[in-house]
Amino acid sequence: MKYYLLFLLVFVSVNLSFSQQDPQYTQYMYNTQVVNPGYIGSKDALGFGLLYRTQWAGFEGAPNTGTLTFNLPLGELKRSAIGLSIVNDEIGPTVETNFVIDYAYSLLFSDVSKLSFGVKGGINIFNIDYNKLNIYDNSDWQFLENIDRKIQPQVGVGIYYNTDRMYLGLSVPNFLNTKHYNSNDVSSTNEDAIAIERLHYFFIAGYVFNISDHVKFKPATMLKWVNGSPLQADVSANFLFNDKFTLGAAYRWDAAVSAMAGFQISNQFFVGMGYDFQTTEIEKQSNGSYEIILRFDVFNKTERILTPRFF
């Protein structure tokens, strides 16, 4: 019984309280490649992205996530694009690192309108170090064996439509129900105990409205559905001033309210920050969640930027 109680705690930590197996992001509108490979088809230039998130700061074993993305358009018409996504996610005794290649092909409807179809494929490297747990009775866990660099495949797809003012996307980052853990990993029990990577379905959308010559309104949303869990909904509202400074807020249904700020340092370089205040009981044990993102685009000298990169 004690074994299953500990396993339940580990499993909940991996799933992050009901609906979060994959990492979650406050600034999802700037980190789209991780969840939808079709996004790279919308890019007109070589791009890099770097994000770090510490969730539930001050809570021992809380999630810490880092992402690195790279994308490059191909061909004269830039109908194709290739990219790389690396995600490192640490939660309690578990560490999962994903290395994924992204590819997208776009149908061009106009100079500013594209429909992109994307695929992603790569590997997940999964680790559990049970020595990091505070074990009450060592005799109950003597049969536990650490999981060391367990390699599992990842295959996902996405479709992404965008203009210079809006985007819509639908994706499944991983179609494979890979098992992180099963009863064969523990010799002390004959009963079934399984932790499976569930399919995550993402819907994303955003638009840019002109309020005045100097102010734009940028609402966005991300819906995530996982089988057996409630629908997770994120809604954000950002205001862009003089195409340089962004200030906004967001709400994650029954989970958190967030504040965001960003600055377009140049046409190539953007930095953004986010802070989450949990609306659940866990806020009493933590100091909120923090996130920072850096994006850098490399343009050819002959390219002319017609509009800022809104998303």
What pTM, to 2 d.p., does this model score? Answer: 0.82
For residue 181 the two structure tokens come to 């853990």
Q: Are 51 and 70 spatial neighbours (Cβ–Cβ below 8 Å)? A: no
The token duo for 109 is: 């409807």
Q: Is 70 exposed, middle or buried (0-12, 13-18, 19+ CB in 10 A)?
A: middle
More confident position, 17 or 81 = 81
Give the model confidence (pLDDT) of 219-230 as tens digits.
Answer: 999 999 987 778
Token pair in block for residue 310: 């809104």
| pLDDT score of 210 more than 50 | yes
DSSP sequence for 62-94:
--EEEEEEEEEEESSS--EEEEEEEEEEEETTE
For residue 50, is pLDDT > 80? yes
DSSP letters spanning 111-148: SS-EEEEEEEEEEEEEEE-GGGS--S-GGGSTT---EE
Please name the residues in contact with 135: beta carbons below 8 A apart, sequence gap of 6 or more: 6, 141
Helix (H) or strand (E) holding 167: strand 166-172
pLDDT at 8: 38
pLDDT tens per residue across span 6-42: 443 444 444 443 444 567 899 999 999 999 999 999 9
| Amino acid present at 262 | G
Q: Which helix (H) or strand (E) holds 108?
A: strand 94-108
Superfamily of domain 2-298: monomeric porin ompg (2.40.160.40)
pLDDT-based confidence at 291, cuts 50/70/90?
Answer: very high
